[in-house]
Structure 1
């Protein structure tokens, strides 16, 4: 296994995910302003508008300060999935079911990647050398 190549790929997927989030939130700001859903509580609209700055920050930190990027990214995506789930299932906003499922998939990918990206390469090689029982 070529760990550096896999690490770059995993980080690239994470950066792309936050870039997509950034584009989505910028589009919302341009087309709807900071109030995406008028029937949503104010705190939700503020949260979604704030992601316009936090998503690109997470993407940049994943590249230049990976541990900080992972912490910020995990906080963003876990809270985003939770808030968007409440928006869809709790207060029945016309929120996209498919986009929520994709966010949930991305959340699982990021959380799963944390262990891999923070594990020392030496530990990875030792684990690979052990036979599977």
Structure 2
């Protein structure tokens, strides 16, 4: 369509986007609770840079959710970036910094985040055509 309107997304696309809206909403709640219960240093055992990253997810998770909800490609890109970096940050925290042997709740959580990241990155080419471009439309050529 040349008038700027988009076709409605298929049900499968809407379900995948809805699932990731829930993922980012859950992440928002977790990080907000960490801030509310942890005081000025919600992650005291982590290096400052890593604690700052986890704190930034309080803003990045809901931003990705809102942009995805609005069917913006920026939401898909941000969502992929957030999940991939969150998986990497959790891997560092749970494997490099945590001396506990074997399976821990943090390592299970890290595995889940990694699977979610891989799934969204894998689905991105399939989802992207159903999202609105973040660029303004180019003027018609004469």
TM over 0.5: yes
- Measured on the aligned residues, the alpha-carbon RMSD in Å equals 1.8
Tell whether the 8 Å contact from 1:85 to 1:100 is kept in structure 2 after alignment. yes
Using the size of structure 1 for normalisation, the TM-score is 0.81
| Equivalent-residue separation in structure 2 for 1:36 and 1:99 (angstroms) | 18
Correspondence 1:22 to 2:28: yes
Task: Kindly indicate which of the two structures has a greater share of residues assigned to helix.
Answer: 1
How far apart, CA to CA, are the structure 2 residues paired with 1:64 and 1:46? 27
Moved over 4 A (4+): none
| CA shift in 2, pair 1:115/1:41, >3 Å | same
Structure 1 residue corresponding to 2:110, chosen from 97, 100, 122 = 100
Higher relative contact order (CA 8 A, sep 6+): 2
Match of 1:76 in 2: 82
User: Is residue 34–residue 49 contact of structure 1 (8 Å, CA) maintained in 2?
Assistant: no
Q: Mark the runs of 5 or more structure 2 residues left unpaired by the alignment.
A: 1-8, 131-142
What do residues 15-35 of structure 1 show as CA deviations (whole Å, max 9, x unaligned)?
A: 111011001101101111352
